[in-house]
A and B are shown apart, each in its own frame.
Chain A
Amino acid sequence: MLLFLIVGLVLVLLISRRLVRYATTISPLEASRRVAVSETGQARARWRILEWLALLVGAYKIGGWIFDFQLSSYLTFHEDDGAWWTGIAPAVLAFDRALDFVALPLFVYGLVALLVAQPRLIGGLLGSVTYFVGGKLRSLSLKHMSLKPHRISSFLLIVGLMASVSLYPSIASKSFEDKAMRGATVQVGSELHISISSNDLVSAEQLDQGLGGQIQAMRTVVKNRLAAFQHGDVLSVDPLFEAILPGFSSLGMA
């Protein structure tokens, strides 16, 4: 708990250091005014290279989710490739996968930063909203908000990021659930899988030989048992021999 508090405090100070410096240096006369002109310049949202990158990376990953593609899938590496390539390619793959966890906040941050950096666009959006909910006070509320547009921009940015973070659990839980189900299905290889130990099929003497002998002994027993097995709900049964090296084997029925 103390660690969270310290990390939170450090982050807040780090992020707001420019505004804190401004607040401690503004003259009392200007601070007492309803609208401090210098505040707009200090707190203005800017559209820079980092915001561009956030929007591009976020849009790439979200597009990848929708159209089922990722650039890293075009990277191929083999054992005989150079050491530098076999080192870099897995790192790029891991980085691409890691982006899945931050893509949505990056996209929302980039998009909202783009919006709030365009005062005219924000004015149009707010005008549309207040048209429905402002009533007779619409023009007054718009005028009030236009006095301190940077505060409206900051509010929209925070709300956008909070919405993206709160959306993640609902999106990710379904995704993880699907992956777990797919993984389990592929691992089992069928709708129903029954594992039978080799000791339950053949004698210890028959298992005391090479792998080929063990398989041959089990194959004969399995063939006879499957021939005798008849059930209306079972469409087909396929045996699959699993040997755990160096020489123990078991039987899987799918």
Chain B
Amino acid sequence: MSGVPLYLLDDTQRYLKNAIFEEKLGVSAKFSDVINVLGEQQVAASRRWPRFGT
């Protein structure tokens, strides 16, 4: 798996407050909900993620 971008967020609340996004980006849930449930050392990934390596 190479060339896949990984974005690191220091503060998810600050990111949601300042970044421009649309809720539909979350596809299966609201984008803000996806980011909100992230904790330390956790990753939110596209549902296509498992297919990247194949």
Interface residues of A (CB under 8 A from B): 76, 78-79, 182, 185-186, 188-191, 215, 236, 238-246, 254
- Residues B20 and A242 in contact, CB atoms below 8 Å apart: no
| Docked complex Cα distance between A244 and B8 (Å) | 11
A244 touches which one: B5, B19, B22, B50 (CB < 8 A)? B5
- Contact pattern, B 3-40, Cβ under 8 Å of A = 1, otherwise 0: 11111111000110011111001001000000000000
Minimum distance in angstroms from A191 CB to a CB of chain B: 8
| 4 other A-B residue contacts (CB within 8 Å) besides A190-B19, A242-B8 | A186-B20, A245-B5, A254-B18, A254-B19
User: What is the size category of the interface that chain B forms with chain A?
Assistant: 20 to 34
| Docked complex Cα distance between A92 and B31 (Å) | 23
| Docked complex Cα distance between A150 and B14 (Å) | 67
Which chain B residues border A188 with CB–CB below 8 Å? 20
| Docked complex Cα distance between A215 and B4 (Å) | 17
Which chain A residues border B3 with CB–CB below 8 Å? 244-245
Which chain A residues border B6 with CB–CB below 8 Å? 242-245
Which chain A residues border B20 with CB–CB below 8 Å? 185-186, 188-191
| Docked complex Cα distance between A236 and B14 (Å) | 11
Please name the 9 residue pairs, one residue from A and one from B, whose CB atoms are nearest each other, closest first.
A241-B8, A243-B6, A189-B19, A245-B4, A238-B18, A185-B20, A189-B20, A242-B7, A242-B5
Minimum distance in angstroms from B14 CB to a CB of chain A: 7
Which chain A residues border B5 with CB–CB below 8 Å? 242-245
| Docked complex Cα distance between A76 and B28 (Å) | 8
By beta carbon, the residue of chain B nearest A183 is: B22
| Docked complex Cα distance between A245 and B21 (Å) | 23
Which chain A residues border B25 with CB–CB below 8 Å? 186
- Residues A190 and B2 in contact, CB atoms below 8 Å apart: no
- Residues B14 and A244 in contact, CB atoms below 8 Å apart: no
Which chain A residues border B1 with CB–CB below 8 Å? 245-246
Minimum distance in angstroms from A195 CB to a CB of chain B: 12
- Residues A78 and B28 in contact, CB atoms below 8 Å apart: yes
A238 touches which one: B4, B15, B50 (CB < 8 A)? B15
Which chain A residues border B2 with CB–CB below 8 Å? 244-246
- Residues A186 and B21 in contact, CB atoms below 8 Å apart: yes
